[in-house]
Amino acid sequence: MLIINPSNPCGSVYSHDHLAQIAETAGELGILIIADEVYDHLAFGDKPFIPMGVFGKTAPVITLGAISKRWLVPGWRLGWIATCDPNGILKETKVDQSIQNYINITSDPATFIQGAVPQIIANTKEEYFNKILDLLRTSADLCYGKIKGIRGITCPHKPEGSMFVMAKLDLSCLDGFSDDIDFCCKLAKEESVIVLPGSALGMKDWLRITFAIDLVSLEDGLERLNSFCERHAKV
């Protein structure tokens, strides 16, 4: 079972009770949990981030993490795999050995990144992370508020983490679009605004919007999106 928390692309953060129910279900089914927690320190809403590993006694957990998001270095493709398996299920089934074997055949990150990581993890001050969370919280509020005023687009869930939000595209309110891909292509051509069509994520007629940019650019992009929808609105 794969869990992405905080979520890309929805911006949701799961509660302790919800994660506990997921772990109980996995335990009953006799399956392991793969927890993608790349955005673990980018939860800025009311719900605190709860690592899936705390439920390791209920079901074995393999946690995926990376340096790219919390430290804002997306080009540094360096991550890690951690297991939480107090009952020894992964060891007994040799899943842990399979993980080690796979790591041994993959290419390593650049040496300068490997050399920098210990210093980055040990010496980055807490003020840096707090500033990032404040910026993301402000930009998420701006994004959510602006989307509510755009015709043909609704945002059912205010983002509480990560850097993205999903918005529902109602093409019945708009004219001249066949689907979300067509909408995004014409938006890019007419307004130079890039959003990801939901079809790329298996969510037809949805849009994935990132708010991890400076507030001026974000507001300008959302204003262009609004102008685009007004121009193509059905009379």
- Is 143 a domain residue? yes
Number of domains in the chain: 2
Tell me the C-alpha distance between 184 and 152, whole Å.
Answer: 13
Same domain, residue pair 109 and 39: yes
Q: Provide the pLDDT confidence category of residue 213 given band limits of 50, 70 and 90.
A: very high
CATH of the domain at 147: 3.90.1150.10
SS (H, E, C) 23-79: HHHHHHHCCCEEEECCCCCCECCCCCCCCHHHHCCCCCEEEEEECCCCCCCCCCCCE
Domain C-terminal end among 82, 113, 144: 113
Stretch 100-118: mean pLDDT: 85
CATH of the domain at 38: 3.40.640.10
Stretch 165-187: mean pLDDT: 96
Q: Look at the alpha carbons of 120, 122, 128, 133 in this order and tell me if their dihedral is positive or negative.
A: positive
Same domain, residue pair 102 and 166: no
Tell me the C-alpha distance between 116 and 160, whole Å.
Answer: 30
Could you tell me which residues come within 8 angstroms of residue 183 by beta carbon, excluding any fewer than 6 positions away? 169, 171, 174, 177, 197, 207
Stretch 212-230: mean pLDDT: 97
Same domain, residue pair 104 and 24: yes
Size of the chain, expressed as the number of residues it contains: 235
Same domain, residue pair 37 and 109: yes
Comparing CA positions, the residue from 203, 234, 179, 200 lying closest to residue 187 is: 179
Is 193's pLDDT higher than 90? Answer: yes
Strands 61-66 and 79-84: antiparallel
* Residue written as token pair 């990560």: 162
SS (H, E, C) 99-148: HHHHHHCCCCCCHHHHHHHHHHHHHCCHHHHHHHHHHHHHHHHHHHHHHC
From residue 219, alpha-carbon distances to 135, 142, 149 in Å are 14, 8, 13
What per-residue confidence (pLDDT) applies to 120?
Answer: 92
Residue pair 56/24 in contact (Cβ under 8 Å)? The answer is no
- Give me the domain span that covers residue 109: 2-113
- Please provide the average confidence, as pLDDT, over all residues in the chain: 95
Is 171's pLDDT higher than 90? Answer: yes
Same domain, residue pair 7 and 108: yes
- Is 121 a domain residue? no
Q: What is the pLDDT of residues 10-62, one digit of tens each?
A: 999 999 999 999 999 999 999 999 999 999 999 999 999 999 999 999 999 99
Same domain, residue pair 220 and 158: yes
The tokens for 191 are: 């307004």
Q: What is the pLDDT of residues 65-107, one digit of tens each?
A: 999 999 999 888 888 999 999 999 999 999 999 998 988 887 7
